[in-house]
Amino acid sequence: GQQLNQSPQSMFIQEGEDVSMNCTSSSIFNTWLWYKQDPGEGPVLLIALYKAGELTSNGRLTAQFGITRKDSFLNISASIPSDVGIYFCAGQLAGGDMRFGAGTRLTVKP
Amino acid sequence: GAVVSQHPSWVICKSGTSVKIECRSLDFQATTMFWYRQFPKQSLMLMATSNEGSKATYEQGVEKDKFLINHASLTLSTLTVTSAHPEDSSFYICSAIGVAGGHQPQHFGDGTRLSIL
């Protein structure tokens, strides 16, 4: 099946530092998405990427859709305590089905 | 926009009880809704895909008679966990895609934490 490899699994950083995480797959996806999940809540969409090579920003977040359509990265600049949470990448297929990465657990120390 | 409401947010019940979880798209029509299960510190696992007016498609290993899905309207899908047992305790999350279809991202509800005693 279409497996996504997300790394790193967890990160412990100081407030103000930049963060980078990525996802790779052996399969091609039509859309790459990045979600954030807080404890006890559902994932919230951060960024959606629709074209190979696309680079999109949302505030301090920047994500890119890899040129091969098999990978994506998410950067967070100048991290703040409320950035704490689990970040999931997801690859979406033509019919709308998604496959999720295992998540990156981010801890930000004030 | 694209708000998905899930109810209830937390359920505690006795073993053998059936539990119904509702997923509603509040400000858009959803032809397709998805049901996921999430164990602690793990990613989301797709259980089934629900299309309005037709039978749900279940992922391999998910018992369709155990997890009954009904998608009777463009804004509501329900998941019923029948005769629930402690091993069914988990975090269940729904998501929805609007009528324009596959190229749109899924929007998620806030999840239902199910605890079976």
Separation between Cα atoms, residue A77 and residue A59, nearest integer Å: 9
Residue of A nearest to B104 (CA): A96
Classify B88 as helix, strand or coil: helix
pLDDT in tens, A86-109: 999 999 987 778 899 999 999 999
The enclosing H or E element of A87 equals strand A85-92
Is residue B102 pLDDT above 80, yes or no?
no
Q: Supply φ then ψ for residue B20, to 5 degrees.
A: -110, 130
pLDDT in tens, A44-91: 999 999 999 999 999 999 999 999 999 999 999 999 999 999 999 999
pLDDT in tens, A5-44: 999 999 999 999 999 999 999 999 999 999 999 988 999 9
Q: Which two tokens stand for residue A99?
A: 């496959």
- Mark yes or no for CB contact A50/B103 under 8 Å: yes
A18/chain B closest Cα distance in angstroms: 24
**Which of B67, B65, B108, B114 has the alpha carbon at shortest distance from B92?**
B114
